[in-house]
Amino acid sequence: MTLDEKLRNLKAELMHRKARIMIIGLGSVGNYLLDYLMSEGDENIEIVVAGRNFKKMETDVNIVRVATLIRGQNRTGITIEADVDLNEVESIRRSIEKHMPDIIVNSSRAYSGLKYGSISWAAFRAYGIWTPLSIKYTKNIMEAYSLARSKAVVINTSYSDAVIPWLKSAGKSYPDFGSGNVNHLVPRIKLALAEENKIHDWWNIDITYATAHFHDVVISKEGQTEGVAQLIDADYKGRSLPVTDRTFAACKISMPTDAKRNMMNASSNFEIIRGILDAVRSGTTTKVHSPGFGGNIGGYPVILDGSSDNPRAYIDGSKFSLEQMQKKNRESIFLDGIENVEDGKLFYTDELIQKVKDKFSVTLPKCVDFSEIDAVAEFLIENIIEKAGK
């Protein structure tokens, strides 16, 4: 079933019942997202939180329930689905079949409590090395999704720039949207342009941008583009705004490095969910920026169009061609250590392989086949993550 077919099905279904949203993994991203959804005060959604630790999930859910009730916002039911082991496809399948969600958000992490970039950026400035870890649970969720014959729209939170294309290239079911990454950079650019141009209603600045994860990080952390021209268009009420090196320099703003950063990823998930629900329930049209959309490498501007009886989602080609965007994304993700993703295989760049060898005395494989994901994920944990923490 295509994404457009899922959206049409969802529109028909929600004429008769509430929307069901499943959050898989209730870590910091999942907790923030749960709070944001509950804060909507939407009586017409139901939320399922799924994971392994019932006691932890129960305490997390209780605090959100009580806090939103104090604010007069708690109108949404929450169900806790415990004993969901993300290493076991059958466990995930049973949960999906039981609750039949309309939207699934994968906010799980294969190695919790650590932001992988805290190791990689300082050492070799490339996040792509962690793709086998990022895809480890996502592939299990999507296999379970297929076995359950689910029609849910799926949102993935972990390095979708490469994870979603890897699944698609292997002929597997893949998430419909990725959250975060380029979507974290767009608001920084809006704020920078507002300051430059003395614009007070920065929310009316419209950005159309195609880039991959590397430039989200290098612009956010360092305020520079590594000499790569960016494929970006900015508009304010019909007036074109130039995006310059000065603009990108102003995107380097002070931010937390702990779990509070996950407010952004949770907000990105929230934006996509709200865009989907608004499109199918209210006929509105929203633009989001989503990594991995359509199984494409990198990040893209995406239109959620509910203006007709047949809601749809598509890459916004009003400013740039798909070919231009794909090319620019490949330039960016190459700097993140990924040479290519094709035929179910991920190829690391020679530059990344050498940097990892120099820094950690570890030799990465040039190519990781889909069948080798779990083994390489464990290799990364044992030989880099755990040793770096000692």
The token pair at 325 is 């965007």
In single-letter form, the type of residue at position 131 comes to T
Whole-number mean pLDDT of the chain? 96
- Residue the block writes with tokens 């700097």: 335
| pLDDT tens profile 309-344 | 999 999 999 999 999 999 999 999 999 999 999 999
CB 287 within 8 A of CB 169: no
The token pair at 272 is 């996509």
| pLDDT tens profile 217-235 | 999 999 999 999 999 999 9
| pLDDT tens profile 33-74 | 999 999 999 999 999 999 999 999 999 999 999 999 999 999
The single-letter DSSP state of residue 309 is S
- The crossing angle, in degrees rounded to 10, of helices 182-197 and 213-222 is 40
pLDDT at 117: 74
The single-letter DSSP state of residue 236 is E
Collapse the DSSP code of 80 into the 3-class scheme (helix H, G, I; strand E, B; otherwise coil) and give the result: strand
| pLDDT tens profile 127-163 | 999 999 999 999 999 999 999 999 999 999 999 999 9
Cα dihedral sign for 163, 164, 165, 167?
positive
Q: Please give the full DSSP string across 175-217, using - where no structure is assigned.
A: -SEE-STHHHHHHHHHHHHHHHHT-S-GGGEEEEEE--HHHHH
- Strands across the sheet containing 19-24: 77-81, 45-50, 19-24, 103-106, 153-156, 177-178
| pLDDT tens profile 10-24 | 999 999 999 999 999
The token pair at 284 is 């509105």
Which residues are bridge partners to 232 per DSSP? 209
pLDDT at 109: 82
Other CB atoms closer than 10 Å to residue 244's CB: what's the count? 12
Q: How confident is the model at residue 124 (pLDDT cuts 50, 70, 90)?
A: confident
Could you give the CA distance from residue 272 to residue 261 in angstroms, rounded to a whole number?
Answer: 18
Mean pLDDT of the 171-180 span: 97
Could you give the CA distance from residue 216 to residue 299 in angstroms, rounded to a whole number?
Answer: 10
The yes-or-no verdict on residue 114 having pLDDT over 70 is no
The yes-or-no verdict on residue 110 having pLDDT over 90 is no
The count of C-alpha atoms lying within 13 angstroms of the C-alpha of 110, restricted to the half-sphere facing its C-beta, is: 27
Could you give the CA distance from residue 280 to residue 248 in angstroms, rounded to a whole number?
Answer: 36
Q: How confident is the model at residue 119 (pLDDT cuts 50, 70, 90)?
A: confident
Buried b (16+ CB within 10 A) or exposed e, 37-67: bbbbebeebbbbbbbeeeeebeebbeebbee
Find, among 115, 87, 107, the residue nearest to 156 by Cα. Answer: 107
Other CB atoms closer than 10 Å to residue 204's CB: what's the count? 12
The yes-or-no verdict on residue 102 having pLDDT over 90 is yes
Name the burial class of residue 362, with classes exposed (0-12), middle (13-18) and buried (19+) by CB atoms within 10 angstroms of its CB: middle
